Amino acid sequence: MKFITDLIKLFTSVTTGIVFVFIAVMLIEDIDSISTKMLIQMPCAALVTSLVTTAFFCGESRTRRGYYLRILLHYITLCAVMTALGRFFGWVGSDIKGIMTMVISTGAVYVFTFTVIFISSKHEADRLNSALRSKYGGKK
């Protein structure tokens, strides 16, 4: 069940991040409209990357080094997945500019998603700690 709830949270955040990146790219490159196919492609890309992310972080890292290594490998994997999807959907070219655009875009969505998750998790932890304090009166 945790896998499904994590997947739904990630999917929502990643989809929002992808939409924001597309809006930024449209503004930067002075694009007036998008294809209706993109309205299906963006959530598809979000679902694929959410599945990859949920699978990557289903277990705990035992060391800090392992955690940072997992984040690095995760980001590299997401860049590869999104570059492949970008090519498949026709979002980017296979030249260095297209690949760099996708790496930067993936980084922007990565930062957005993990910021949202961090804030959400912190809020939930604060709420649980407050409930524990009120139930047990702050005793250790």
Give the model confidence (pLDDT) of 34-76 as tens digits.
889 999 999 999 999 999 998 888 777 788 898 889 899 999 9
Number of domains in the chain: 1
113, 77, 22, 8 alpha-carbon torsion, rounded to 10°: -40
Residue 107 has pLDDT above 90, yes or no: yes
State which residues form the domain around 21.
2-136
What's the pLDDT score for residue 47?
95
How many residues would you count in the chain? Answer: 140
Give the model confidence (pLDDT) of 12-40 as tens digits.
999 999 999 999 988 988 888 888 999 99
The arithmetic mean of pLDDT across residues 88-100, rounded, is 91
In angstroms, rounded to a whole number, what is the distance separating the alpha carbons of residues 78 and 48? 9
